[in-house]
C-alpha cells in the first residue's frame, strides 16, 4: 500500500520484519494522537481535566468527606446550623455542581467523538485504498493467468471480485438490510419508500 509521506522520506518501507512494520505503524498512530492532543482548545483541555478528575475515586472521597462534614455540622447539637435539615442549601449546591459537571463531561465526550470520527474516517480511507489495490492485483493476476494459458474456464467469482467496490452501493445495501430487519420498507431504486 502506497502510504509514504510526500513531505519527507518514510521508514515505512525500510522495515525488515513484521515487528518493524508494527513498530512503524504504532509510532505513526502515536504521532497522530500527539497532533490531535496538541490541537485541543482550552475548553477541551479544561473539560478533559474535569472529566478525568470527576471519574476518579479522589473525587468520590472528597464528596463523601464534604457531605459528611456538612450534614454532621448541621445536625449536631450546640453547633450553629447554617443549613438545617432538609439541607436546602446543600441540595442547591449539589444541583449546580451536577449542571456544570454534566456540561464539562459532554464537552469532553464531544471532543472524543470528534477524534473517533477522524479515526473512523482514516480507517475507511485505508480500507478503500486496500480494496482498490486488491482489485487491481486480481485484475493483473487474471491477465497474467490468461496470457500464460493457465485458465481452464472462467471463474465467475473472480470476475465479481475484480469489479471495483462502490462505497455508496454498500452503504445503500447495509441501510436496506437494516430497514428490512426493523420492518421498514427498503430503499428502492427510485428513492426512499420508507414510512412518511
User: What pLDDT was estimated at residue 66?
Assistant: 93
User: What pLDDT was estimated at residue 152?
Assistant: 63
Taking the domains of the chain in order of start, what are their residue ranges? Answer: 17-129, 166-196
Question: pLDDT tens-digit profile of 134-154?
Answer: 888 888 888 888 888 776 666
In this predicted structure, the answer to whether residue 63 has a pLDDT above a threshold of 50 is yes
Distances (CA, A) of 41 to 29, 32, 38, 92, 107: 21, 17, 9, 31, 11
Mean pLDDT, residues 66-79 taken together: 89
Name residue, grid cell 521508514: 11
pTM of model > 0.95: no
Q: Give CA–CA dist 161/55, Å, rounded.
A: 49
In this predicted structure, the answer to whether residue 96 has a pLDDT above a threshold of 90 is yes
Q: Give CA–CA dist 146/88, Å, rounded.
A: 85
| Burial letters 136-146, b for 16+ CB under 10 A, else e | eeeeeebeeee
In this predicted structure, the answer to whether residue 2 has a pLDDT above a threshold of 60 is no
User: What pLDDT was estimated at residue 18?
Assistant: 67
Q: Give CA–CA dist 125/80, Å, rounded.
A: 66
Q: Give CA–CA dist 188/12, Å, rounded.
A: 45
| 148: DSSP letter | T
Amino acid at each position: 500500500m502506497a502510504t509514504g509521506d510526500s513531505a519527507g522520506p518514510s521508514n515505512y518501507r525500510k522495515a525488515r520484519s513484521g515487528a518493524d512494520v508494527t513498530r512503524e505503524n504504532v509510532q505513526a498512530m502515536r504521532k497522530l494522537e500527539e497532533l490531535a492532543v496538541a490541537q485541543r482548545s482550552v475548553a477541551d483541555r479544561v473539560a478533559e481535566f474535569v472529566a478525568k478528575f470527576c471519574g476518579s475515586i479522589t473525587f468520590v472521597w472528597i464528596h463523601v468527606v464534604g457531605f459528611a462534614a456538612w450534614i454532621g455540622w448541621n445536625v449536631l447539637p450546640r453547633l450553629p446550623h447554617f443549613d438545617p435539615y432538609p439541607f436546602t442549601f446543600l441540595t442547591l449546591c449539589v444541583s449546580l455542581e451536577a449542571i456544570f459537571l454534566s456540561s464539562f463531561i459532554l464537552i469532553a465526550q464531544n471532543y472524543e467523538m470528534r477524534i473517533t470520527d477522524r479515526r473512523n474516517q482514516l480507517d475507511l480511507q485505508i480500507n478503500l485504498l486496500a480494496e482498490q489495490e486488491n482489485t487491481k492485483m486480481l485484475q493483473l493476476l487474471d491477465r497474467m493467468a490468461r496470457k500464460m494459458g493457465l485458465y481452464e474456464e472462467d471463474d465467475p467469482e473472480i470476475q465479481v471480485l475484480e469489479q471495483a467496490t462502490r462505497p455508496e452501493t454498500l452503504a445503500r445495501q447495509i441501510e436496506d438490510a437494516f430497514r428490512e430487519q426493523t420492518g421498514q420498507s427498503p430503499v428502492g431504486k427510485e428513492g426512499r419508500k420508507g414510512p412518511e
